A and B are shown apart, each in its own frame.
Chain A
C-alpha cells in the first residue's frame, strides 16, 4: 500500500514536469530545456513504475531495456535530418506496438480470475489502436523512404473490404469482451485484424498527404498509450498518452487546413481524380545562372521558398550560404515555409536549422503573404503545389482553395526545377508561365552553387 502511494506521488511530479516541458516548447529559445524537463519527467515515471511493479524477476526487463536503448540511441544518432519523417514514422510504430503488447500481456495478469468487462474493453482498444498504429506506421515508413510505391493505392472493392474488416473487428471485440481470456480465439482474430487494418488504412494515401498521416499516427500512438493506461489502471500513462494524442490531433488539423481538405477526404479518397483543371498554356522563360546572379546582386529583399525538392537535393546548406552572401550584400533575407512543405510538419524548418539558419528568418505563410509585394526575388526551391496560383484562381483545379504562398505576386520569381514535370498532385502550375517568372533548370544544389560562384 505504501509503495502505491509513493509511486503515485512520483507520477504527479512526472506529470507536472511533462506539462512544464511541453509549455517550454512554445519558443525555440526555451525548447531544448523543455525537452530536458520532459526527459526528467520520464526518468522519474520509469523509476516509480519499476518500483511500483513489484517485479519478481528483472532479467526480462533489463534485457528489454538494453535492446531498446541500443536501437534508440543508434537511430537517434545516425539518422540524417532529411530522413526525420521516416524516423518519426518508425517511432510512432514502436509506440503503437508497445501499447498493443502491454494490453495483451495484461490479460495474463488475471490468471484464471475473471477479467472485468471494462478492463477487457480497454485491452481491446489498446490492441486495436496499437496494432493499427504499428502496421500503419510501417507502411508510412515504406512510402516515405520509397521502399514501396508512394502513390495512393486504390482498387475496386476497397471500400467494401474495409467495411467488412471494420464489421469483423466490432464482432470480434464484442465476442471477446463477453468472455475475455488470454486463450480466447477472438483475441488472436483481433490481433490479426488490427494489424491488417493499419495496412489497409494507409495504402490508399499518397506521398504528398504524408504530413497528415504521420501526424495522425502520432496521435494514435498517444491514444493507444492512454488505452493501455486504462487497461493497467495507471494514471501517468493516461496523462502522457492524452498529451501526445492531443498534440497529434492538433497537428493533423493544421495540416488538413493547410491543404484545404477534410480529414475524411485525405483518408478515404485517392487524390485529384475528380476534377480536371484548365490546361496551362504559355511560354516558360528560362534564365542562366549568370543572369540570376545579376538580378540577385541588385535585389534588396529576397525570400526563399523551400519544398520537398530541397530535401531531396540536400540543398539546405548551399541555400543558407547564398542567403548569407546576400545578407552581406545588404539584402534582407527570409525563408517562407508552407505548413505542408516537405513530408512532415516542420520538416523544412529542421533542415534549415541544421544548415544554421537563425530561426528568426524562418517565417510562416501568413506572415510573408501580406508583404510579398515587397519581395524583389522569391526563390522557389523544389516546391510546387504550395506556390501554385491555381489554388487561388482556378475553381476547377483539384487544389483550389488551398492556401498558398503567393510568390507570383513578388516582383520576380525564380523557380529552381529539374524539368517541367508537375508536382505530386499532378496539377499544372501556371506560376511557371508567369510574366515575372524565370525558370532556373537543373539540380537545385548545382544551380545555387553556380550563383554563389558568380558572387565569388
Chain B
C-alpha cells in the first residue's frame, strides 16, 4: 500500500511540476535552475536518517557525507538564486 501511496504522490507532483515550470519566463531560466539545485538539496531530510539513526560507523560516514553534499545545495542554491534575482530590476524601479 505504501508503494502505491508514494507513487500516487510522485505522479501528481510530476504533473504539477510541468504546469508550474512551463509558466516560468525564459529570462528567469538560470535562477530557476539554481533554485531547483537548492530544492534538490531536500535529500538532506533523508540524509539525517542515515547519519544519526544507527550506530554503524559506515552508515554514519555515508550519511555525514550526504548531509554535507545536500547542505551545499540548500545553502549555496538559495543564496546564489537570491543574489541573481536581486539583480533583476524593473524599469520603474530605477
- Asked if A pairs with B, the answer is yes
A-to-B contact residues, CB < 8 Å: 18-19, 21-23, 25-29, 31-32, 35-36, 38-39, 42, 45-46, 48-50, 52-58, 60-61, 63-65, 67-69, 71-73, 75-77, 79, 81, 84, 87-88, 91-92, 94-95, 97-99, 101-102, 104-106, 108-109, 111, 118, 182, 214-215, 218, 221-222, 224-226, 228-251, 254, 337, 339, 344-347, 349-350, 353-354, 356, 358-362, 364
Residues of A within 8 A of B54 (CB): 56, 108-109, 111
Categorize the interface residue count of chain B.
35 or more
Residues of A within 8 A of B55 (CB): 56-57
Query: Which residue of A is nearest B42, CB measured?
Result: A240
**In the bound complex, CA of A39 to CA of B88 (Å):** 19
Given A104-B62, A229-B46: A60 and B52 within 8 A (CB)?
A: yes
**In the bound complex, CA of A52 to CA of B45 (Å):** 9
CB-based contact B87/A55 at 8 Å? no
Specify which of B34, B50, B71, B91 is in contact with A67 (CB 8 Å cutoff): B71
**In the bound complex, CA of A360 to CA of B25 (Å):** 12
Query: Which residue of A is nearest B77, CB measured?
Result: A91
Given A26-B24, A358-B89: A73 and B79 within 8 A (CB)?
A: yes
Query: Which residue of B is nearest A47, CB measured?
Result: B45
Residues of B within 8 A of A344 (CB): 29-30, 33
The main secondary structure of chain B at its interface with chain A is helix
Q: Which 3 A-B pairs have the closest CB atoms?
A: A68-B71, A55-B52, A246-B17
Given A218-B36, A250-B22, A353-B89: A182 and B29 within 8 A (CB)?
A: no
Query: Which residue of A is nearest B20, CB measured?
Result: A22
CB-based contact B85/A32 at 8 Å? yes
Given A32-B82, A53-B53, A238-B9: A84 and B41 within 8 A (CB)?
A: no
**In the bound complex, CA of A64 to CA of B65 (Å):** 6
